[in-house]
Amino acid sequence: MAMDSKNRGLTYRGGMYLLLALLILLLAGGLIGYRYSLLSHISSANSIDEGIFYAIIGVAALASIIALLLAMRINRNIRNLKRVAEAMERGADIESIPDFAHDEIGDISRHIIDLYKRLQQASSDVEREHDKAMHEHQEKLRIKRQLTNNINHELKTPVAAIQGYLETITTNKDLTDDERNSFISKCYANSQRLTQLLQDVSTITRLEDGSSRIECENTDLCAIIEEIRSDVALLPEEARMRLNINLPKPMMVCANPTLLMSIFKNLTDNALAYSGGRDIYINATVNNGMYHITFADNGIGIDEEHLSHIFERFYRIDKGRSRKLGGTGLGLSIVKNAILFHGGDISVKNRTSGGLEFMMTLPIAKQA
C-alpha cells in the first residue's frame, strides 16, 4: 500500500512536469513554425513584424517559467500535506508544521493541522479522564472489598465470644449466680462492641456513598466541645483527662452536628484510651475564612512509622489493647472522612514535648 501511494505520487509529479515540458515544446515549435511560414510571405525588410514575433516568444517563455514555478509551489504544498495526512493516519503527533506556502492551499493545510491537534488533545483528555475514572472505580472496589473483609474479621471476635459465653451458660447448669452474671456481662460488652462497629460502618458508608443526603446546618462547634467536656467530667477520676480549651466564641460552621460530634468524640476517646496523658488541649485560630484547629494531648505519642497509617480503616498500633478497650479501628478513619466531607483537611504529628497533635481546618459558616 505504501509503495502504491509512493508510485502514484511519482507518477503524478512526473506527469505534471512532462505535461509542462510538452506545452513549452509545443509552444516553441509552433512559434518557430509560424516564424518560417511568416518569413516566406513577408519581406525581410519588415523589421517591425520580426520584433513583435520575438516579443511574443519572450512573453510565452516568461509565462511558461512562471507557470512552472507556480506548479512547483503547488506541488510542494501537496507533498507536505500528503506527509501530514500520512502522519494523521498513523495517529502520530505533529510536532512542527511543515513549511507551507502562504496561499489558499497552505492556509487550508494549516487549518487542517490545527484542527487535528485540537482533536488529538481532546481525545487525549477524554482518554486521561477515562483512565482516571477507571482507576478511581477500581480503587473504590478495592476499598469496599477490603472493608468487607475487615468487617467480617472484626465481627468474628465478638460474635464468637458471645456464642461461647452463651453456650457455657446454657450447657453448664451448675454455674453460680456470680459466674452466670459475669458471662452475661461479657456478652453485653461484646454486643455493645458489635453495635459500635455497625454504627461506625454505617457512618463510613454514609460519608462515602450517601454524602449528598447528609444534611448540614450552621452549628456552633464550641457548644459541641463543651458537651464533650461535660461527658468527660462524668468519668471516674482515674479515667478522665483535663480539657484545656481556647476557642473563639462562637465557632459557627456549616456542618452535620452528628458528624461534627463524632470528630471530636473519637479524638477524645482515643486520647483517653491510648495517650497515657492527663491533659487535652483544643485551640483554634481564624485565617482566610477557615478555622485552624489543633487537638493535642501530653501523652506518649506513637512511633513515626505509624503516623502515615493511623487514618486507615481498622489500622491498630496495638491490636490486642485496642480490642480489649472496645475500639473498632474505624474512629480515626471517620474523623478524617468527616473533616474532608465538611471541606477541611487534617494531619497529625508527634509533639516535641510528648503526645500527639492533630491539625484540622474547617470552613467558617457563611453569614445568612
Same domain, 289 and 185: no
Contact 322, 297 (CB under 8 A): no
pLDDT mean across residues, the chain: 77
Q: How many whole angstroms separate alpha carbon 258 and alpha carbon 261?
A: 5
Where among 160, 189, 209 does a domain terminate? 209
pLDDT of residue 1: 42
| pLDDT of 42 above 60 | no
| pLDDT of 333 above 70 | yes
Residue 128, class by beta-carbon neighbours within 10 Å (0-12 exposed, 13-18 middle, 19+ buried)?
Answer: exposed
Same domain, 155 and 189: yes
| pLDDT of 360 above 90 | yes
Q: Using 50, 70 and 90 to split pLDDT, how confident is the model at 10?
A: very low
Same domain, 239 and 337: yes
| pLDDT of 292 above 80 | yes
* 316-329 pLDDT, tens digit each: 776 555 445 556 67
Same domain, 270 and 341: yes
Q: How many whole angstroms separate alpha carbon 365 and alpha carbon 368?
A: 9
Q: Is residue 122 part of a domain?
A: no
DSSP 213: G
Q: Using 50, 70 and 90 to split pLDDT, how confident is the model at 363?
A: very high
* 138-166 pLDDT, tens digit each: 766 776 676 666 666 667 777 888 888 88
Measure Cα distances from 253 to 237, 266, 284, 287, 294 in Å: 33, 19, 13, 14, 16
Q: Is residue 295 part of a domain?
A: yes
* 162-193 pLDDT, tens digit each: 888 888 888 888 888 888 888 888 888 888 87
Same domain, 202 and 222: no
* Greatest distance between any 2 Cα atoms in the chain: 154
Closest C-alpha to 348, from 301, 314, 287: 301
Number of domains making up the chain: 3
Same domain, 340 and 357: yes
Domain containing 26 equals: 2-40+47-101
pLDDT of residue 347: 94
Region for residue 60 given its phi and psi (left: phi exceeds 0; alpha: psi -120 to 50; beta: otherwise): alpha
The SS3 of residue 95 is: coil
pLDDT of residue 120: 76
Q: Using 50, 70 and 90 to split pLDDT, how confident is the model at 15?
A: low
Same domain, 232 and 284: yes
Q: Is residue 107 part of a domain?
A: no
Q: How many whole angstroms separate alpha carbon 119 and alpha carbon 83?
A: 18
Q: Is residue 7 part of a domain?
A: yes
Same domain, 204 and 220: no
Q: In whole angstroms, what separates CA 157 from the centre of its chain?
A: 38
